[in-house]
């Protein structure tokens, strides 16, 4: 027959699936001889069976429970409901994955009108006994019977009012007796039955309540948010009660074996004398730091230290413990791996390895790659932050901390920055024309737009702090005024932005610089030892390139060339090139752009030296470069000797219904091959010059964007190759270079074997590939995606984590087909997924050669790549 109930001495930490996290660890602690109040666990199997059986507990299971209860009674020498020496138990949920506060707990079970007297006699504390009974009735009514908690609170509060008490503690035993009677009356009225005096009946109902609580709405929501399977079910832990509220020799507390904030090796936590766990949560009294136990409970303190050591060497990780001291004796109620900050996580992982408790692989596997991000950015000094006033709240669009004087226009920001001022660019939303102003600002604040707005995407790319969509801040750019609540700020005001939280503050705050040496450097070195995936970075400038190198990038996977054309001295020629209907005029404008491009690429090569650099040909729709304001249009008209109407018409005619699916990417190069030729010339010429200058061999990778057909790739490969060879001949130089493509259109993945005939590498542009595979425009579907995630229609945001079933299948198909044609084809990914750990693991398993992400994601990517390699090696 199946076994459903396990005493604590029958289980172990490896039985988590069956006993839940709490139950497994209680069993483990029992097994290694730590002081755990005895008890038993009803397994998750029993919970699942409860649901299968239509919300009924099987008789055989209840028999097993009572068998274990009687063993518990034997061990404790007490009997549930006994009128002399009653056993009291707690009934707690405990699922496989931690779901803090989501499910129900019943304490002090076993109390009734008789056993409460016995408890009074045993503890010689009538008030304690009655208060325990009062709490039990209230908790049982709420949790098990689903009665309205407020009605109980009303009785309780009216008693305090009647007596003129301020604090609960002032209630006297007769007050509590009266409350208990009123509670029982209320229970009778609401349920049409008396409060159950049979402790076994109490137990059965409490177990059912815990099972039921697995499917309460907040638990369901929590699981959806954390991707936890709804079918796992919860275990139920039944444990004899110990009391931290039996007097000044009793206490309750929580402790970490190491500091969860800094990682320092020292027991850390807090405790409350003469109290039960729920008092700590209620926050009525302020707990004391655990270090003070050394004075108040010296023996228990050293016991706790001993337990901490035992647990760490046993679990080989920092532990988060709950304990109770009953009359000077330490009882352990829970242990689990402790949550920690990124900084602590890194330090603890390195320290544990140094202490010989874990090996390097384990140290790496312990880290949450996404968390690493936290330590790379500047943050506000926590103390100094308390000094300032919060103005509003936006989205944490790009991490970091920044302060500066408000500038409402990009132009103003540029002028101020030239004078050496620190500025924050404040706009309703940004557009490509604000780019130069964004570059020189310390941070960017917008009142509109989401996590994927222009401001957010560009700022993340630059590693610059950004708060977007701060809807409670009103920005009037024309009058240069910012309103937040009753505060009205102008250009003279200083503000601070926390890009990690989305907070906006009035005034400046001290900033703490990140430290990338020490433990961080150690862990990165270890990651490098295990990972096989190369990590490149997406860099559009020398500055990006240097930042990427600082973080350990091994090359550039995506150098976008469009941003380069927005600078003031270039945009005019770019516009002329687009707007002119005279072909000579067009060509002349392009020729004037060439020297700029040449310098752009030379700067990047100088930084990257002989590391691989993939440069993408011009990608965005041409209208993005065109003037939109009246002023700019009339300037352009003047410069080109055309009427404002002519320019406006041309601008209008280039607008598109669906620019995402319009005249962009390689389609620009097909219709204006001169652009591709100019860019090829700049790429090759710059590589030749810097190769000579530095005596190195630069091997540029020229990337054609948005290819959908073999024909496009073949056509452009020919144009690029011819031009490159022409330049090499002119320069009397020889250079290896590669021509490849982004795979970012579904069709390209399907015909990748044909495209690979003309492409030496594929770089998966999973941003666009996701948009087209799903038919989701990122600019438009923010709200829809949210609703899809809420309704469980999607499990993940496919723009954050690659959609393995759909988009991933296309990536896989393209990789396989590409290799069929060209066995050694170079494969990488340069979409934002290149910085997402789950997606990196997917790329590793698919056998891609590299991922490319923004400079600040490089360390995250390294850890994720190392973890993927370690996981794969362990499966083998």
**Residues labelled as active-site residues:** 454, 830
Residues near a copy of itself (CB under 8 A), total: 50
Q: Does 432 engage in binding with a copy of itself (CB under 8 A)?
A: no
d(CA 703, CA 765): 11
Taking the complex as a whole, the smallest distance from the CB of residue 776 to a copy of itself amounts, in Å, to 6
* Helix boundaries (H) for 360-515: 360-365, 369-372, 382-385, 410-418, 435-440, 454-462
Nearest approach, Cβ of residue 846 and a copy of itself (Å): 16
Smallest gap from Cβ 854 to a copy of itself, in A, equals 23
User: Residue 719 interacts with a copy of itself (CB under 8 A)?
Assistant: no
Exposure string over 593-619, b if 16+ CB within 10 A, otherwise e: bbebbbebbbbbbbbbeebbbbbbbbb
Whichever of 524 and 752 has its CB closer to a copy of itself, that residue is 752
Long-range Cβ contacts of 367-370 (<8 Å, 24+ apart): 367/523, 367/863, 367/867, 368/342, 369/837, 369/840, 369/860, 369/861, 369/863, 369/864, 369/867, 370/837, 370/860
Min dist CB 671 to a copy of itself, Å, is 6
Distance CA(526)–CA(652), nearest Å, equals: 55
Whichever of 210 and 752 has its CB closer to a copy of itself, that residue is 752
Please say whether the beta carbons of 341 and 832 come within 8 A. Answer: no
Scanning 21-29, 203-211, 602-610, 792-800 for contacts with a copy of itself by CB under 8 A, the matching segment is 792-800
Task: Provide the minimum distance between the beta carbon of 399 and a copy of itself in the complex, in angstroms, as a whole number.
Answer: 26
Chosen residue from 774, 800, 845, 849 binding a copy of itself by CB under 8 A: 774
CA separation for the pair 289, 254 (Å, rounded): 10
**Contact region with a copy of itself (CB under 8 A), list: 155-163, 242-250, 585-593, 740-748:** 740-748
What is the rounded (10 degree) CA torsion for 218, 219, 221, 225? 130
Residues 6+ apart with CB under 8 A from 635: 627
Which listed residue (402, 523, 745, 811) binds a copy of itself by CB under 8 A? 745
* Separation of alpha carbons 179 and 156, rounded Å: 7
Task: Provide the minimum distance between the beta carbon of 827 and a copy of itself in the complex, in angstroms, as a whole number.
Answer: 20
**Cβ pair 267, 293 in contact under 8 A:** no
State yes or no: residue 581 binds a copy of itself (CB under 8 A): no
Between 478 and 569, name the residue whose CB sits nearer to a copy of itself.
Answer: 478
| Out of 540, 554, 712, 832, the residue judged to bind a copy of itself by CB under 8 A | 712
> Smallest distance, Å, CB 718 to a copy of itself?
11
> Quick check: 780 binds a copy of itself (CB under 8 A)?
yes
* Bridge partners (DSSP) listed for residue 466: 398, 444
Binding flag, residue 771, a copy of itself (CB under 8 A): yes
Binding-site string for a copy of itself from residue 679 to residue 708, where x marks contact by CB under 8 A and - marks none: ---------------------------x-x
3-state secondary structure of 307: helix
> Locate tokens 């159950």: which residue?
196
805 contributes a contact to a copy of itself by CB under 8 A: yes
> Which listed residue (133, 214, 715, 764) binds a copy of itself by CB under 8 A?
715
Is residue 667 close enough to count as binding a copy of itself by CB under 8 A?
Answer: yes
Bridging pattern class, strands 79-80 and 89-95:
unpaired
Residue from 729, 784, 847, 872 touching a copy of itself (CB under 8 A): that is: 784
Taking the complex as a whole, the smallest distance from the CB of residue 453 to a copy of itself amounts, in Å, to 11
Shortest Cβ distance from residue 795 to a copy of itself (Å)? Answer: 8
Pairwise CA distance, residues 541 & 547, whole Å: 10
Quote the CA–CA distance of 214 and 217 in Å, as a whole number: 9
Among 67, 309, 671, 873, binds a copy of itself (CB under 8 A): 671
Q: Is 474 in the site for a copy of itself (CB under 8 A)?
A: no
Nearer to a copy of itself by Cβ, of 584 and 805: the residue is: 805
Q: How far apart are CA 270 and CA 780, in angstroms?
A: 48
Q: What angle do CA 833, 837, 840 make, to 5 degrees?
A: 60
Tell me: does residue 381 bind a copy of itself (CB under 8 A).
no
**Are 821 and 827 within 8 A, CB to CB?**
no
Q: Is there binding between residue 220 and a copy of itself (CB under 8 A)? A: no
Residue 635 vs 747, nearer CB to a copy of itself: 747
66 near a copy of itself, judged by CB under 8 A = no
633-662 residues in contact with a copy of itself (CB under 8 A) are 656-662
Q: What is the DSSP letter of 453?
A: S
Rounded (5°) CA angle 223-99-52: 60
Whole-number minimum distance, CB 111 to a copy of itself, in Å? Answer: 46
Choose the binding region for a copy of itself from 301-309, 482-490, 784-792, 826-834 (rule: CB under 8 A): 784-792
- Rounded Cα gap, residues 471 and 475, in angstroms: 10
| CA 437/CA 295 separation, integer angstroms | 59
**721 binds a copy of itself, rule: CB under 8 A:** no
560-574 exposure pattern, b = at least 16 Cβ within 10 A, e = fewer: bbbbbbbeeebbbbb
Please pick, from the candidates 754, 797, 816, 871, the single residue that binds a copy of itself as defined by CB under 8 A.
754
752 binds a copy of itself per the rule CB under 8 A: no
**Side-chain-facing half-sphere of 350: CA atoms under 13 Å:** 20
DSSP string, 618-678: P-S-GGGGS--SHHHHHHHHHHHT--HHHHHHHHHHT--S-GGGSS-THHHHHH-HHHHHH
Q: How far is CA 431 from the centre of its chain?
A: 27
Which of 807, 848, 858, 860 touches a copy of itself (CB under 8 A)?
A: 807
Please choose, out of 9-17, 163-171, 465-473, 800-808, the segment that lies near a copy of itself by the rule CB under 8 A.
800-808
299 near a copy of itself (CB under 8 A): no
* From 220, 521, 639, 794, residue interacting with a copy of itself (rule: CB under 8 A): 794
Q: Is 439 exposed, middle or buried (0-12, 13-18, 19+ CB in 10 A)?
A: buried
Q: Does 854 bind a copy of itself (CB under 8 A)?
A: no
**Residue 283: burial class (beta carbons within 10 Å; 0-12, 13-18, 19+):** exposed
Identify any residues that bridge with 7 across adjacent strands, giving them in sequence order: 40
Among 312, 442, 803, 832, binds a copy of itself (CB under 8 A): 803
Task: Please tell me whether residue 768 binds a copy of itself under the rule CB under 8 A.
Answer: yes
Which of residues 420 and 775 has its CB atom nearest to a copy of itself in the complex? 775
Using the rule CB under 8 A, is 739 a contact of a copy of itself?
no
Q: Does 71 bind a copy of itself (CB under 8 A)?
A: no
- What's the CA gap between 309 and 267, in Å, rounded? 10
Binding residue for a copy of itself (CB under 8 A) from 305, 709, 796, 800? 709
From the list 219-227, 369-377, 476-484, 791-799, the region that binds a copy of itself by CB under 8 A is 791-799
- By the 8 A CB rule, do 300 and 325 touch? yes
End-to-end CA distance of the chain: 36
**Is 777 a residue that touches a copy of itself (CB under 8 A)?**
yes
> Counting contacts by CB under 8 A, is residue 77 touching a copy of itself?
no
DSSP state of 287: P
Stretch that binds a copy of itself, among 319-327, 586-594, 725-733, 749-757 (CB under 8 A): 749-757
Nearest distance, CB of residue 784 and a copy of itself, angstroms: 5
Residue number, 554 or 710, with CB nearest to a copy of itself: 710
Q: Is 224 in the site for a copy of itself (CB under 8 A)?
A: no
Interface residues with a copy of itself (CB under 8 A) are: 656-663, 665, 667, 670-671, 706, 708-709, 711-712, 715, 744-747, 750-751, 754, 768, 771-777, 779-781, 783-784, 787-788, 791-794, 803, 805-807, 809-810
């Amino acid at each position: 027959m199946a076994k459903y109930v396990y005493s604590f001495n029958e289980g172990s930490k490896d039985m988590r699936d069956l006993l839940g996290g709490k139950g497994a660890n209680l069993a483990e602690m029992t097994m290694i001889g730590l002081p755990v109040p005895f008890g038993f666990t009803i397994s998750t199997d029993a919970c699942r069976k409860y649901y299968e059986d239509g919300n009924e507990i099987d008789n055989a299971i209840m028999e097993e429970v009572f068998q274990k209860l009687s063993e518990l009674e034997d061990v404790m020498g007490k009997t549930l409901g006994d009128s002399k020496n009653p056993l009291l138990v707690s009934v707690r949920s405990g699922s496989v994955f931690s779901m803090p506060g989501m499910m129900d707990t019943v304490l002090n079970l076993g109390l009734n009108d008789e056993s409460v007297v016995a408890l009074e006699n045993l503890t010689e504390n009538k008030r304690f006994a009655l208060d325990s009974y009062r709490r039990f009735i209230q908790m049982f009514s709420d949790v098990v019977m689903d009665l309205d908690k407020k009605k109980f609170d009303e009785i309780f509060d009216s008693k305090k009012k009647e007596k003129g008490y301020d604090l609960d503690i002032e209630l006297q035993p007769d007050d509590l007796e009266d409350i208990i009677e009123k509670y029982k009356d209320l229970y009778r009225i609401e349920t049409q039955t008396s409060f159950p005096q049979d402790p076994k009946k109490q137990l059965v109902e409490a177990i059912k309540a815990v099972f039921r609580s697995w499917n309460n709405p907040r638990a369901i929501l929590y699981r959806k948010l954390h991707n936890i399977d709804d079918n796992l079910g919860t275990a139920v832990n039944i444990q004899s009660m110990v009391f931290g509220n039996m007097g000044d020799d009793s206490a309750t507390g929580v402790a970490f074996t190491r500091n969860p904030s800094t990682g320092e090796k020292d027991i850390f936590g807090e405790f409350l004398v003469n109290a039960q766990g729920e008092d700590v949560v209620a926050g009525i009294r302020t707990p004391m730091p655990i270090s003070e136990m050394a004075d108040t409970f010296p023996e228990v303190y050293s016991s706790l230290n001993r337990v901490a050591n035992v647990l760490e060497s046993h679990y080989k990780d920092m532990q988060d413990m709950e304990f109770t001291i009953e009359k000077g004796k330490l009882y352990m109620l829970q242990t689990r791996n402790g949550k920690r900050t990124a900084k602590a996580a890194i330090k603890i992982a390195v320290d544990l390895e140094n202490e010989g408790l874990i090996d390097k692989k384990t140290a790496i596997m312990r880290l949450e790659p996404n968390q690493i991000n936290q330590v790379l950015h500047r943050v506000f000094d926590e103390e100094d932050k308390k000094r300032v006033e919060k103005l509003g709240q936006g989205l944490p669009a790009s991490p970091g901390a920044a302060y500066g004087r408000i500038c409402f226009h990009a132009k103003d920001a540029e002028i101020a920055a030239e004078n050496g001022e620190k500025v924050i660019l404040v706009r309703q939303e940004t557009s490509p024309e604000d780019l130069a102003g964004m570059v020189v600002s310390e941070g960017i604040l917008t009142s509109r737009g989401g996590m994927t707005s222009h401001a957010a995407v560009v700022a993340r790319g630059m590693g610059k702090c950004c708060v977007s969509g701060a809807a409670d801040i009103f920005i009037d750019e024309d009058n240069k005024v910012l309103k937040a609540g009753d505060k009205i700020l102008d250009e003279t005001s200083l503000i601070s932005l926390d890009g990690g939280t989305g907070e906006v503050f009035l005034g400046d705050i001290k900033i703490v610089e990140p430290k990338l040496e020490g433990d961080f450097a150690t862990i990165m070195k270890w990651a490098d030892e295990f990972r096989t995936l190369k990590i490149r970075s997406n860099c559009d400038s020398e500055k990006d390139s240097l930042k990427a190198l600082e973080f350990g990038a091994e090359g550039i996977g995506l150098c976008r060339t469009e941003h380069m054309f927005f600078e003031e001295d270039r945009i005019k020629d770019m516009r002329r090139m687009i707007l002119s209907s005279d072909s000579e005029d067009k060509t002349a404008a392009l020729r004037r752009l060439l020297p700029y491009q040449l310098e752009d690429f030379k700067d990047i090569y100088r930084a990257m030296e002989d590391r691989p650099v993939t440069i993408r040909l011009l990608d965005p729709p041409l209208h993005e470069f065109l003037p939109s304001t009246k002023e700019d249009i009339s300037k352009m008209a003047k410069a080109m000797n055309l009427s404002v109407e002519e320019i406006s018409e041309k601008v209008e005619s280039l607008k598109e219904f669906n620019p995402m699916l319009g005249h962009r990417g390689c389609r620009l190069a097909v219709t204006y091959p001169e652009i591709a030729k100019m860019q090829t010339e700049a790429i090759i010429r710059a590589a030749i010059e810097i190769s000579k200058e530095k005596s190195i061999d630069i091997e540029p990778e020229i990337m054609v964007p948005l290819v959908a057909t073999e024909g496009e790739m073949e056509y452009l490969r020919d144009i690029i190759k011819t031009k490159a060879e022409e330049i090499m001949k002119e320069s009397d130089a020889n250079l290896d270079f590669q021509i490849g493509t982004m795979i970012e259109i579904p069709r390209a993945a399907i015909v990748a074997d044909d495209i690979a005939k003309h492409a030496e590498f594929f770089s998966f542009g999973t941003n666009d590939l996701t948009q087209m595979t799903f038919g989701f425009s990122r600019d438009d579907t923010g709200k829809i995606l949210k609703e899809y995630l809420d309704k469980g229609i999607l499990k993940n945001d496919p723009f954050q984590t690659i959609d393995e079933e759909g988009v991933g299948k296309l990536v896989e198909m393209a990789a396989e087909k590409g290799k069929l044609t060209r066995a050694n084809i170079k494969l990488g990914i340069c979409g934002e997924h290149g910085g997402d750990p789950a997606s990196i693991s997917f790329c590793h398993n698919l056998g891609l050669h590299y991922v490319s992400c923004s400079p600040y994601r490089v360390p995250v990517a390294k850890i994720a790549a190392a973890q993927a390699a370690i996981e794969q090696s362990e499966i083998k």
